[in-house]
């Protein structure tokens, strides 16, 4: 009897994340002005909306492939794990404040693979660096090729400086070698030793990703991601039949994307509309049209991804509740060693013993 009840509870417990995500979606939906949105949707072009949704899915697929490429470099390149983690992170970011979904992605991958949390965190940081690099290139390119008001043109120089700084950091990370500080702490197994092992694993992972073919492949996938996002945004603006200048579309897209980097309201509702109206208004787009387009854009970017995340939710919850897998020595240090080499065996025994508590 007890075993049967426990089995039922376990089965229903798996659906708790889906219920929680639906609750977050309800909070996000409650903030939308549905009267305005439904009026605009009735006149929207179904093929254009379908193309926008399809492009959104393809953009998420490109980002999934980017993250899978990083995971594969560490020997955990499951496409299912990469898709689950990426879709869940984007969905949570779409309905929560800040970038809360990225914490969930780190935990999901760490529990679903043999990797340490610090290694996965380094991969997420590197992925965001690639995405940010192409975004800054878009800003600079738009500033050179498109007519831009002085209020917006002044951002070209800060974007160039930020791009150069980001490139400098990547070059520095790729060329600076580890210090092996954790190994100099002798037999200590306290918090300081564990912290230094974690920082060494983080930097070693970043150093490996920032050098070699990984960098070129990641930048290519990031460029594909942004191209598909821009295509989805353009399809959204044309779906409502408004005559929006191409320059206004690109600049508004860049402005809305920047405002979504740190969401200060659930789903960034209200902020997205204000930013879009301000950026497009410079080109003479009426505020009512801009707000309507921004509302439709949020629905296109949120609803399809949330439905995909709901499909992943039961398995994700089971993965989070699973025991942590013990990492090997080379995965703790980020080195590319053969599992049968003497150095790898010695590293595995010494490093894992020192960090078993973490």
pLDDT digits (tens, 9 = 90+) for 191-223: 777 788 888 888 888 888 887 677 888 999 999
Angle, vertex CA 309, rays to CA 290 and CA 294, nearest 5: 0
3-state class of 293 per DSSP? helix
For position 143, what pLDDT does the model report? 83
Question: Would residue 318 count as lying in a domain?
Answer: yes
- At 93, which helix (H) or strand (E)? helix 79-95
Helix ranges (H only) for 146-155 are: 150-153
3-state class of 98 per DSSP? strand
Question: Would residue 345 count as lying in a domain?
Answer: no
How many structural domains compose the chain?
A: 1
Which one, of 175, 182, 214, lies nearest residue 199 by Cα?
182
What span, in angstroms and rounded, lies between the C-alpha atoms of 142 and 156? Answer: 9
Question: Would residue 223 count as lying in a domain?
Answer: yes
3-state class of 355 per DSSP? coil
What are the tens digits of pLDDT across the range 217-275? 899 999 999 999 999 999 998 888 887 888 888 988 998 888 888 777 777 778 888 88
Question: Would residue 346 count as lying in a domain?
Answer: no
Domain interval for residue 104: 17-322
DSSP letter at 79 equals H
Question: Would residue 225 count as lying in a domain?
Answer: yes
Question: Would residue 350 count as lying in a domain?
Answer: no
Question: Would residue 56 count as lying in a domain?
Answer: yes
Angle, vertex CA 65, rays to CA 92 and CA 170, nearest 5: 90
Q: pTM, whole model, 2 decimals?
A: 0.75
Does the pLDDT value for residue 19 go beyond 80?
no
Does the pLDDT value for residue 172 go beyond 60?
yes
DSSP 240-284: TT----HHHHHHHHHHHHHHTSSBSSGGGTTHHHHHHHHHHHTTT
Question: Would residue 263 count as lying in a domain?
Answer: yes
101 φ, ψ to 5°? -65, -25
What span, in angstroms and rounded, lies between the C-alpha atoms of 354 and 285? Answer: 62
For position 312, what pLDDT does the model report? 84
């Amino acid at each position: 009897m007890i075993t049967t009840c426990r089995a039922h509870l376990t089965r229903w417990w798996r659906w708790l994340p889906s219920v929680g995500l639906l609750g977050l979606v309800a909070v996000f939906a409650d903030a939308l002005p549905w009267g305005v949105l439904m009026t605009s949707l009735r006149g929207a072009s179904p093929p254009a909306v379908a193309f926008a949704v399809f492009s959104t899915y393809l953009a998420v697929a490109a980002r999934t492939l980017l993250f899978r490429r990083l995971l594969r470099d560490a020997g955990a390149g499951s496409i299912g794990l990469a898709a689950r983690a990426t879709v869940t992170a984007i969905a949570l970011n779409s309905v929560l404040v800040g970038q809360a979904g990225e914490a969930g992605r780190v935990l999901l991958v760490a529990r679903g693979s043999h990797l340490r949390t610090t290694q996965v965190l380094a991969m997420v940081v590197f992925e965001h660096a690639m995405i940010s690099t192409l975004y800054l290139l878009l800003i600079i390119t738009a500033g050179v090729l498109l007519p831009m008001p002085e209020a917006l043109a002044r951002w070209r120089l800060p974007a160039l400086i930020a791009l150069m700084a980001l490139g400098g950091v990547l070059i520095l990370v790729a060329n600076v070698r580890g210090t092996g500080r954790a190994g100099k702490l002798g037999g200590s197994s306290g918090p300081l030793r564990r912290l230094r092992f974690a920082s060494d694993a983080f930097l070693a992972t970043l150093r490996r990703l920032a050098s070699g073919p990984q960098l070129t492949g990641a930048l290519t996938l990031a460029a594909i991601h942004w191209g598909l996002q821009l295509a989805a945004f353009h399809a959204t603006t044309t779906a409502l039949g408004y005559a929006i200048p191409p320059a206004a579309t690109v600049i508004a897209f860049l402005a809305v994307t920047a405002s979504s980097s740190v969401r200060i309201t659930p789903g960034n509702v209200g902020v997205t509309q204000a930013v879009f109206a301000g950026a497009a208004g410079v080109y003479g787009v009426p505020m009512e049209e801009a707000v309507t387009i921004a509302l439709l854009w949020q629905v296109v970017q949120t609803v399809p991804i949330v439905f995909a995340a709901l499909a992943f939710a039961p398995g994700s919850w089971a993965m989070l509740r699973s025991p942590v897998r013990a990492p090997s020595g080379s995965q703790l240090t980020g080195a590319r060693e053969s599992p049968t080499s003497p150095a790898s065996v010695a590293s595995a025994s010494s490093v894992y013993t020192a960090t078993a508590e973490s």
